[in-house]
Structure 1
Amino acid sequence: MASALISALSVLLCALALILYSSPAAAQADLALDCCLTVSHKVIPKHVLLTYRKQFRVDGCPRDAVVFITRKELNLCAPPAAEEHWVKETIKFLDTRLKMCKATKFHVCNSPQIHHSFTVL
């Protein structure tokens, strides 16, 4: 009788663990977001940048930001374009360069990695 009770409890605990592990909340808790916690207001030289992506609070990050990716694959966090004029101008520069690279099938781009790295999210 006691062993049957222990077996039933074991099955119940395993089922409960499986349900909790497969729930959407538990699945999202396992995802590690790569978010900027702080931003720098220092102007970043355009010639070191490859691309950028935008970070939003609604996606689970603590603040809105623009993440600039350098040629050395460093992520540099800047405030949103609405807060800093230089961020807006840098985004415009990168977007223009991307269009030019695409228009010339990346022949004018000075890095063989540019066509792989130029994804704007």
Structure 2
Amino acid sequence: MASRVAALLLLGVVICAEFAAAEIAVDCCLSVGVKRLPLQNLESYSIQEAGKGCDIRATRFITKVGRILCVSHPDDLPWVRNHIKHLDAKKKSSHQ
């Protein structure tokens, strides 16, 4: 009986360790668009790097209504870099 309890406990520990070690991608862009987005609709952004929980590099723009739009990484498209600069400047001016 004691060996069964020990075996079940060991199995539970192994299962918990597997879940803890697994990388679970949360809120990752799975694909990107290249179409230029209207700047006036954008509220903020985040940059996604491949290998840090997500499979691809991307920029996640968040619209004023809370929708997440995935586009190419800022290194890939000049308009993405310009939108990011504008959002950063807007954020900086609102905090002063």
Q: Give TM-score, length-normalised by structure 2.
A: 0.88
Q: Percent identity?
A: 32
Q: CA deviation at 1:20?
A: 1.7
**Aligned ranges 1:22-37 → 2 under 5 Å:** 22-23=16-17, 25-29=18-22, 31-37=24-30
Q: CA deviation at 1:56?
A: 1.2
Q: Is 1:43–2:40 an aligned residue pair?
A: no
Q: Give TM-score, length-normalised by structure 1.
A: 0.71
> Which residue type is aligned with residue 88 of structure 1?
R
Structure 2: gaps spanning 5 or more residues? none
Q: Is 1:102–2:62 an aligned residue pair?
A: no
Runs of 4+ in structure 1 over 4 Å off: none
Match of 1:106 in 2: none
> Which residue type is aligned with residue 30 of structure 2?
L
Q: How many residues align?
A: 96
Q: Does the Cα contact within 8 Å between 2:36 and 2:79 map onto a contact in 1?
A: yes
Q: CA deviation at 1:28?
A: 4.5
Q: Is 1:80–2:73 an aligned residue pair?
A: yes
1:8 to 2, 7, 15: 2
Distance 1:42 1:66 in 2: 13
Structure 1: gaps spanning 5 or more residues? 1-6, 104-121
